[in-house]
Amino acid sequence: MAAANKPNKLAFLSMPAPASYVAGLGRGASGFTTRSDIGPAREGPSAEVVAEAQARRGEEAEYDPDQFQDPDNEVGLFAGTTYEADDEEADKIYEQVDENMDARRRRRRYARENEELAKVRAERPKIQQQFADLKRGLSVVTDEEWESIPEVGNLTRKKRKRDERSFVVPDSVLVGDRSRGEYENALDDRQQTNGGFETPAENGMLTNFVEMGQARDKILSLKLDQVSGTSTASGLATSIDPKGYLTSLDSVVVKSDAEIGDIKRARMLFDSLVKSNPKHSPGWIAAACLEEHAGRMVAARKIIKMGCDQCPKSEDVWLEAARLHNNDDAKVILANAVQHVGQSVKIWLAAADLEHDVKAKKRVLRKALEHIPNSVRLWKETVNLESSAADARILLSRAVEVIPLSVELWLALARLETPDKAQAVLNKARKAVPTSHEIWIAAGRLLEQQAMLPEKPEDQRHQELDMVDKVIERGVRSLRQHQVLLTREQWLKEAEKCEEDGSPRTCEAIIKATVAMDVEEEDRLDIWMGDAEAAEQRGRVGTARAILAYALRVFPDKRSLWRRAADLERTHGTRDSLTAILERAVHHCPQAEVLWLMWAKEKWLARDVPASREVLEKAFVANPESEQIWLAAVKLEAENGELGVARELLVRARTVADTQRIWMKSAVFERQQGQLTTALETLATALKKYPKFAKLYMIQGQIQQSQGNLAAARASFAAGIKACPKEVTLWILASRLEEADNKSIKARALLDKARLANSGNDLLWAEAVGVEERSGGAAQAKTVLARGLQDCPTSGLLWSMAIWQEPRPTRKSRSADALRKAADDPLIICTVARLFWAERKIEKARQWFERAVNINPDLGDVWGWWLKFERQHGVPERQEDIIRRCVAAEPHHGATWQAIAKDVTNTGKTATEILELVVAALK
């Protein structure tokens, strides 16, 4: 039963073999196929069946595009027709149409192909092109460099098989080498027999070689004299200048082989160009220029003559021909040119330039005007040659008749006429050219010139100047009616041009009529302020003044606008104009304290103290509780010696205004007058009212310290620190008090507490470094400074101290680090300037000092360093300029400046005097 269920392993022998079975393939046998295996041969699918199968699959039938081009092998609809003459003619027409269609895009296609080819060449240049510059560079290699080039040798790193062959040396070589160094010491027998040694000379004398050398030198000198032209023999002199010969050799351009090759290739290209397209004038010009560059002027003139014959209508060819010839020949060439291109202005102008006589120039230009009467340039050149204004006026009258649309000619004629006739000329011009804004501006300028005549009365002058505004306004309206829309920027440029030409009222009239064009109502103030600032930067003060005047009429209550106008007048105007502006300003803005103070200060600077008092009285009426006006009045009286009046004013101010600053100024005033007890009483009263005002504690502590009462001063500073822990100056004053009492340890502790209360403050770190330096701990000072720079990495004060702590060789690198951290800090820039000063780089130091004061003009120490620098290396004019700029800037900050300016002994000193003290104190 089990044997019946067992599978038969040989059952495959009775099965048919697979289709791809090859007997013995596993043992390496190779099978073969016979006809009996694949059956009888049969025909493949027809073209129709293939096309039908492709259509079912959605494929397009393949066809040969050339099958329709052979008339003997046509297929399709006309396969059975005969190819006749009309068919051939039709094919030719279609071919011509195809060529025309291809020619339309040929230039664009060629340009694209050339661009693609150039791009490919740029990306993958030939090896020859890659080494072209190196090959050209070989022309400058000297003989020594050639000789120093090493031999190539074997660079393959492969051992070459040596030639081991050897040859036997002949005996003759050995014998000859042996006797090579020997000398003959005996005569041959034949020489003795035949007497060969006794050879007689001519005439029985020996040759004198010395005389032969002298004769050779004489002949050589004669030849040199002939070349240099110094020989006195007739017919031997030449035209060579021996002195200028070497100089003339310098002007000879020696061309290299590469340049000569380039010239030859370019000559071939241009020759092909002019032959293929002889009517192309730039080709002739380029070919002539090439020959001129190669130094072949005769060939260049010949080529350009052929160009004139081939392109007689091209003015450029004629002009180039005239340039390549001398003056007389150029006249003949241009005379021929006007026969062909008589309407060319350039030809006539070139012909006029060739004439050296004014009469001849006039004759040429008038002949030109006969041919080209409508050329503005020819008329202008003709008028410029006239020396008489009457003749020029006649010419311009004729010119405007011939060319009525030329604005330049109308304006030139108006300038030559009298004022009355000029106005008539401008009226005619306005009618002839109603779209020209230059004519309207010229009319306004004419009215302004007539109004500014000295014999005009004042009333009439004002009326005529008002007419200028009306004329410009009419002109703007007329131009708008004629669709001439100049932009606002164009009108502003015209206004600046009028100011530059000396017509400020016309400039103002243009501003009035056009400055509000195309400006949104909410943007007017900002745009006008920007326009005024830009005009001032360009040096057009009149334009800026006119813009601000118009803006003030629109915005009379804008304090910033009045201040901007006052600043403009202070910088560029007169004292009277500034006073007038400020008077108008306080009239429109009576609550603007700054304007009142500016007006009072100007009166005081003019040494008009009563007028300044009057201004302040008016300011009191408008601002009865103004702290600034009260303090300005006190300062005015104090500086003029009216101490009692100043004290009374302070008492009234404390009653009326009663501000913490007035109380502080009262205490300072008493301190300056030496009334220390009164000052302390005032401070005690003030501290009860304003216990959070830190300056009161500072003044109180300083007064007590000056009296020697260190305990009271310490208590005042402690109370101030407790009330105002964020006030850094109080901490510093307290630390200096302890340091003055020889308690450096307590000073350090105070500064540590201050840094905890005011983290990231560079003043506290700088004071801590100063404490360490003054106590003699340089290493500790450097450590504290490093910690400070970590806490305040952008502090210019700390970086400046770090630079000066470095030894001299490393200061420059340290300053570079500082500039990377804080590039725009004026203290760092001033320090860099001092480094340049130490290195005697004067101009660089001056530039960096200028940059520092421009960044922050309020730092008095920078002004002091700059003046000290100029005192050592500058001129008096530059020093005076620095002092003037410093006084105008009114600096208030800086460690040395503040210490000197706030010193009681320097009360009442001017900014110039304080600057001199700062210069003396800086070390």
Provide mean pLDDT across the span 723-752. Answer: 90
Q: Greater confidence, 156 or 626?
A: 626
User: Which residues lie closer than 8 Å to 405 by C-beta, 6 or more apart?
Assistant: 432, 433
Tens of pLDDT along 63-72? 655 555 555 5
Q: Quick check: 271 pLDDT over 50?
A: yes
Task: Judge contact between 861 and 922, C-beta under 8 A.
Answer: yes
Same domain? For 335 and 372 the reply is: yes
Query: CB under 8 Å, gap of 24 or more: what pairs does 169-174 form?
Result: none
pLDDT value of position 183 = 53
- Residue 257 CA to residue 589 CA, distance in Å, equals 83
- The CATH number given to whatever domain includes residue 353 is 1.25.40.10
- Which range has the worst mean pLDDT, 143-147, 212-216, 432-436, 785-789? 212-216
Tens of pLDDT along 644-703? 888 888 888 888 878 888 888 888 888 888 888 888 988 889 999 899 999 999 999 999
**310: its two tokens:** 């081939």
Q: Greater confidence, 455 or 795?
A: 795
Nearest to 917 by CA among 867, 850, 859: 867
**749: its two tokens:** 């502790």
- Which range has the worst mean pLDDT, 115-119, 381-385, 891-895? 381-385
pLDDT value of position 451 = 78
Same domain? For 375 and 464 the reply is: no
Tens of pLDDT along 567-616? 888 888 888 888 888 888 888 888 888 888 888 888 887 788 888 888 88
**851: its two tokens:** 């940059």
Residue 200, in any domain of the structure: no
Same domain? For 393 and 478 the reply is: no
Tens of pLDDT along 806-863? 998 899 899 999 999 888 899 999 999 999 999 999 999 999 999 999 999 999 999 9
Q: Quick check: 469 pLDDT over 60?
A: yes
User: Which residues lie closer than 8 Å to 404 by C-beta, 6 or more apart?
Assistant: 432, 433
Tens of pLDDT along 757-781? 888 899 999 999 999 888 888 889 8
Task: Judge contact between 736 and 766, C-beta under 8 A.
Answer: no
User: Which residues lie closer than 8 Å to 196 by C-beta, 6 or more apart?
Assistant: 190
Which of 228-232, 456-460, 531-535 holds the top average pLDDT? Answer: 531-535
Task: Judge contact between 360 and 337, C-beta under 8 A.
Answer: no
Same domain? For 334 and 372 the reply is: yes
Domain boundary among 555, 578, 612: 555
Which of 11-15, 189-193, 256-260, 568-572 holds the top average pLDDT? Answer: 568-572
Nearest to 83 by CA among 68, 93, 96: 68
Q: Quick check: 730 pLDDT over 70?
A: yes
Q: What is the residue range of 398's domain?
A: 256-414
Tens of pLDDT along 211-256? 767 777 777 677 666 655 544 443 444 444 555 544 544 544 545 6
pLDDT value of position 249 = 45
User: Which residues lie closer than 8 Å to 61 by C-beta, 6 or more apart?
Assistant: 51, 54, 55
375 three-state secondary structure: coil
Residue 529, in any domain of the structure: yes
Domain boundary among 537, 555, 573: 555
Count of C-beta atoms within a 10 Å radius of residue 196: 11
- C-alpha dihedral sign at 586, 587, 589, 593: positive
Same domain? For 443 and 409 the reply is: no
Residue 208, in any domain of the structure: no
Same domain? For 405 and 268 the reply is: yes
> For residue 173, what are the CA distances in angstroms to 168, 169, 179, 183, 407?
11, 7, 10, 18, 106
Task: Judge contact between 492 and 515, C-beta under 8 A.
Answer: yes
Residue 441, in any domain of the structure: yes
**828: its two tokens:** 């760092």
Domain boundary among 504, 528, 555: 555
Q: Quick check: 60 pLDDT over 70?
A: no
634 three-state secondary structure: helix
Same domain? For 266 and 370 the reply is: yes
Residue 827, in any domain of the structure: no
pLDDT value of position 34 = 60
Same domain? For 481 and 377 the reply is: no
**205: its two tokens:** 């004398």
Same domain? For 346 and 444 the reply is: no
pLDDT value of position 193 = 60
Same domain? For 474 and 515 the reply is: yes
List, as one string, the DSSP characters of 400-465: HHH-TT-HHHHHHHHHHS-HHHHHHHHHHHHHH-TT-HHHHHHHHHHHHHHHT-TTS-HHHHHHHH
Mean pLDDT over each residue of the chain, to the nearest integer: 80
pLDDT band at 479 (very low <50, low <70, confident <90, very high): confident
pLDDT value of position 180 = 61
Which of 98-102, 245-249, 871-875 holds the top average pLDDT? Answer: 871-875
Q: Quick check: 8 pLDDT over 60?
A: yes
Counted domains in the chain: 2
Residue 571, in any domain of the structure: no
Residue whose pair of structure tokens reads 């130091």 in the numeric block? 845
Residue 46, in any domain of the structure: no
Q: Greater confidence, 585 or 127?
A: 585
Residue 337, in any domain of the structure: yes
User: Which residues lie closer than 8 Å to 753 by C-beta, 6 or more apart?
Assistant: 731
pLDDT band at 206 (very low <50, low <70, confident <90, very high): low
pTM: 0.57
Q: pLDDT exceeding 90 applies to what percent of the chain? A: 15
Tens of pLDDT along 429-452? 888 888 888 878 888 888 788 777
- Residue 297 CA to residue 159 CA, distance in Å, equals 62
Same domain? For 442 and 536 the reply is: yes
pLDDT value of position 202 = 47
Same domain? For 402 and 265 the reply is: yes
Q: Greater confidence, 65 or 753?
A: 753
Q: From the centroid of its chain, how far is CA 100? A: 51
pLDDT value of position 237 = 41
